[in-house]
Structures are given as C-alpha cells and as structure tokens.
Chain A
Amino acid sequence: MKAISSDFAPPLKLISPFFNAGVTFYLFSMLALLFFKPSFAYEQMDVAGWVHLFLLGFVMMVIFGAMAQLIPVVLEAGHVVVDVYYVIFPLLLVGTSLMVFGFWLVPSILPYGGLLVLVAMMIFAVENVATLKKTSIRTLTIDAVAWSNGYLLLGILTGFAIALGLSGNLDINIPLMLKAHVYAVLGGYVVLTIIGLSLILIPMFSLAHGFEETAIHRAFKWVITGVAVVFVGALSSQEWLMYLGYAINTVGVLFYIWQIYIIAKLTVRKELDIWAKSMIFAFGTLILSLLLGLAYFVSGIESILHASVWFLLLGFISSMITGHLYKIVPFLVWFERFAPLVGKEKVPMLHEMYSKEGASMMFWFTAVGVMIAGLGLLFESDILFKAGGSFLFTGAIFLYITMRKMLAYGK
C-alpha cells in the first residue's frame, strides 16, 4: 500500500519565503518589461539580466519551494535534511539579486552572485539526489526528478563558466556556452520537472483516472535525449547536432501534449477554476510556441523566435507555475493552520482561502498581456509590447496581493 506522508511535510515557514520572494521577483520582472524594446539580441546584458530575474527569481525560486513539499509526496520518503532549504533560500535570494545587478549595472559582481546561486543549487541538487537514494520506488516522476537534477548541475556549471567569462576571468566561447546553459536549465531542468510533476499534479487536481501513460514515458525519453544532444552539440560547436536535438525535443513535447490531451479527456472535474483556466492557457501557449518555433526554422526570422520563446516562458511555464500556486499554497496553509482543528471547529475549504475575483483578475490581465506583448515581439512593435507589459504588470500586482493574502490566511 502506498503510504504518503503528511509526516514528511516540511513546515510552512520553511516554504513560504520561496513563494513570497518568487511572486515579488515576478512583480519586478513584469515592471522591468516596461523598460525594454521588443527587438533585441540574446547576448545583450540587460536582456540576460531580465531573463535571470524572471527565471531564477520567479521560476526557480517557486520550483525550489514547491519541491520542498512535493519531493516527499513523490518519493514517499522524507527529505534527508529538509533544513538545507533554510540555507538555500538566502543564497538564492542574494545570489539572484547580485546577478541581476551584475548584468544590469556592475558586471564585476556577476561571479559573486553566480557563486551564491551555484552553491544554492548544488545544495538543492545534492539533497534531492540523497533523498532519491532513500526510496526504492521507480516511477516516471522519480526518474524525471533524477534527470532534471543532473541537468541542473550541468546548467549551473556552464552558467558559472559564463559568469567567469563575462568578468574576464575565463577564456571561453560565450555564445556557445550560453546555448548549452540555456538548454540544460530550461529544457533539462524546468521542462523535465514540469513533465514529471504533471503526471502527479494534473490528474490529482482534475480527478482524472485510469489513463494510459505511454505518451508521457515517450515524452520523457525524447526530451532527455534531445537536451543531451543539444548540450553536446553546443559544447562541440556542431550546429547540425543541435538542430537534431531541437527536432528530438519537439517530438518529446508533442508526446507530452498528447498525454495531457488524454488526461484532459478523462477529467472528472469540469469546474473552470483559476487552476483549470491557467492549464488551458499554458498548453495553448505551448502549442503556439511550438508552431512559432517551426515557423522560425522555416523562415529564419529572428522576431518569430523571440515570440516563440516568449510564449514558452511567459505563457506555458509561467501559467503552469501560477496556476499551481493557487492549489499548493492554500493546501500548505490549510495543512499547517487548519488541519489540527478538523473535527473540533469549522475549517475553511481550500478554494475559500483565496479571492476568486483577485485570482481571476490576475489570470485575465496576465493572459491578455502575454498575447499582446507576444504580438509586440512578433511584429517588433514597441507600442504593443509596452501595452502587453502594462497588462502583465497589473496581473503581477494581483498575483502578489492574492498570494500574500493566501499565505497570511488564518494567521
């Protein structure tokens, strides 16, 4: 019998700083969008600064906090040393801040920020691997956690090498190293983690049962292979190998989308709450991102690639995270503050713990902002991009307020 554990759940005070900081960084990153132009090059330092503000400050920060809770659920075993998250948080917070300032203002502090982030991620990855060793269970989600942590380590090392290169301390081919770094972190860590956790979280929240899992197993194999091929291609300067890797990854993502379609068909819960809306938007923008990616390979037009990456980051990844925050955070708060009161006094339902109106405003402002700013990137229109950025910033304010209120609920 499967025995999962409330006993392994880490305390809220350990996890909530990650979520608080994550939505704060998200707010800053949406504000910062207003100061960018829709035409740019990936090598620009200010663009790199924004990408790290968004990816490290928001995406990684929230994923790390969520993993503190989800790892025991997935592995059916407690963390080896859950207290390391108290160390990971300040390292990631300060490291990310230094890196962003390094990219934007003072390049010489980049390696210091990079080093702090490196240490935070090393601790995270090593603790995860040690916890993985405690369990004998083999599931796709566990394999995904293992592989994603391996890619995270590669991503960190290449990122640190870039930081040293930019500050003049290491002689490396930065553009190629950058491709290897982006692919290891985004494809290897973020996308693999999302694929692995999707198999647990999406059926759990949609109450879907009895579905065939072949597609997601194929997705997993294709994506881990594709990321490895791109990584090796980038480090060995073999462009054909990188294109092969992109193609393999595309097939993997298509299998993943197919799996989600299979789950969606069996979904019992038809209510269109903030989570369900976010999932629909996330997968819609993932498909859009893929189509634009294919259009870029055919046309070679740079702005199409920018729009494709935009919809992947701000559409798919961001919506997957924010949608799940409205499920995970109420649960964590409820578990800590209300579970002990069950049977003794009236306790709230999870959906009563956040403002539906606030969440809805967050969703619509964000969705409209993603689409308008995406068009701004596609057509290199400054007005459209700024308009989209304004919507996104407004949506971020609603996310920030609703999240703060959820975390303070019942205090």
Chain B
Amino acid sequence: MCNITKEKVFEAISTVIDPEVGFNLVEMGLIYDAIVDDACNVHVIMTLSTQGCPLHQMIKQWVEEAVAKLEGVGTIEIEVVWEPAWNISMADENVKKALGGM
C-alpha cells in the first residue's frame, strides 16, 4: 500500500519557487493535480504562468526532483498543460495580494 498522498506531493512541490515572482508553484496555482497510484507512481499535471517561459524545462526538472525526495516514490511523470490557461484567480490569496491583482 502506498502512503504517498496528493497532499504530500503538493507539499513537496511547494519547495519549488519561481525565481521571477518569488512564490512557490503551489501557491501560484500552477499545480493542477497530482495522481498517485497504488505503486506510488506519481503523475503531476501542471502549467506555467506563460507559454514563452524560458525556464520551462528547468521548472519541470525541479518539480520532478522535489517529488523524487518523497520516500518510496515510484516513477514520476510531469505533464505541462495549457488548458485551462493559468490566471491569477488560481493563485492563493497571499499571492494575489502581493502581486496587486486583487
């Protein structure tokens, strides 16, 4: 039985910070879902704040490395999607407030 939960995956990814805005990917609302199967294989579905992001590959790698730190994790798949497109309403209140979007 796998003891990695979706919450634990989100917690692990929350250590990854976007160097441009200074917030972690989870509070930015960029992590859409994390699916964990019985064998502890993790499938993260995420987006980026802009399609032209030159850090695209690197951010994927950071997310993968963060998830890999979870004990007992199996294979890790990071899927970047553009639908639904990210917008500020997906971010936490503290991010909205700090960016001035509210």
Pair A343/B65 contact, Cβ less than 8 Å: yes
Contacts of B51 on A, CB cut-off 8 Å? 2, 4
- Partner pick for A1 among B20, B49, B81, CB 8 A cutoff: B81
List of A residues within 8 angstroms of B82 by Cβ: 1-2
Interface 1/0 per residue, A309-331 and B, CB below 8 Å? 00000000000000000000001
What chain B residues lie within 8 Å of A349 (beta carbons)?
A: 17, 19-20, 22
- A interface residues, tally (CB under 8 Å): 33
CB A376 to nearest CB in B, in angstroms, measures 37
Closest CB of chain A to B49's CB: distance in Å?
6
Q: Which of B27-70 contact A (CB under 8 A)?
A: 49-58, 62, 65-66
Q: Which of A200-208, A278-286, A383-391 is near enough to bind chain B? A: A200-208
Q: Which residues of B contact A73 (CB under 8 A)?
A: 52, 54
Closest-CB distance, B46 to chain A (whole angstroms): 12
Our count of residue pairs bridging A and B at CB distance below 8 angstroms stands at 84
In the complex, residue of chain A having the shortest beta-carbon distance to the beta carbon of B52: A200
The main secondary structure of chain B at its interface with chain A is: loop
Which residues 1-60 of A sit at the B interface, judged by CB distance below 8 A? 1-7, 9
Report whether A207 and B54 are in contact in the complex, using a CB–CB cutoff of 8 Å.
no
Contact of A3 with B99 in the complex, beta carbons under 8 Å: no
Chain B interface residues toward A at CB < 8 A = 15-17, 19-22, 49-58, 62, 65-66, 80-82, 85-88, 99-101
Nearest CB in chain B: distance from A48 CB, A: 37
Q: Does A334 contact B (CB under 8 A)?
A: yes
Is the CB–CB distance between A350 and B54 below 8 Å?
Answer: no
Q: Which residue of B lies closest to A7 (CB)?
A: B57
B54 — which chain A residues lie within 8 A by C-beta?
4-6, 9, 69, 73, 331, 335
- The answer to whether B15 touches A269, judged by C-beta atoms less than 8 angstroms apart, is no
Q: Do A347 and B101 touch across chains, with their CB atoms under 8 A apart?
A: no
A209 touches B85 (CB 8 A): yes
* B15, B66, B80, B88 interface centre (most CB from chain A within 10 Å): B88
A271 surroundings in chain B (CB, below 8 A): 99-100
B19 touches A5 (CB 8 A): no
- The 4 A-B pairs of least Cβ separation, nearest first, read A270-B100, A268-B88, A268-B101, A4-B56
Chain A residue with Cβ nearest B95: A268
A-B contacts, 11 of them at CB < 8 A, read: A3-B56, A3-B57, A5-B56, A207-B50, A331-B20, A331-B54, A342-B16, A342-B62, A349-B17, A349-B19, A349-B22
User: How far is A235 from B72 in the complex, measured between Cα atoms in Å?
Assistant: 73
CA distance A7 to B61 in the complex (A): 12
Q: How far is A1 from B51 in the complex, measured between Cα atoms in Å? A: 9
B87 near A209 (CB under 8 angstroms)?
Answer: yes
A7-B57, A269-B100, A349-B19 in contact; A343/B85 too (CB < 8 A)? Answer: no
A74 within 8 A of partner (CB): yes
Residue of A200, A268, A271 most packed against chain B (CB within 10 A)? A268
A4-B57 contact in complex given A269-B99, A270-B99, A342-B62, C-beta closer than 8 Å = yes
Task: List residues of chain B with CB within 8 A of the CB of A270.
Answer: 99-101
A339 at the interface (CB under 8 A from B): yes
B101 and A269: CB pair below 8 A? yes
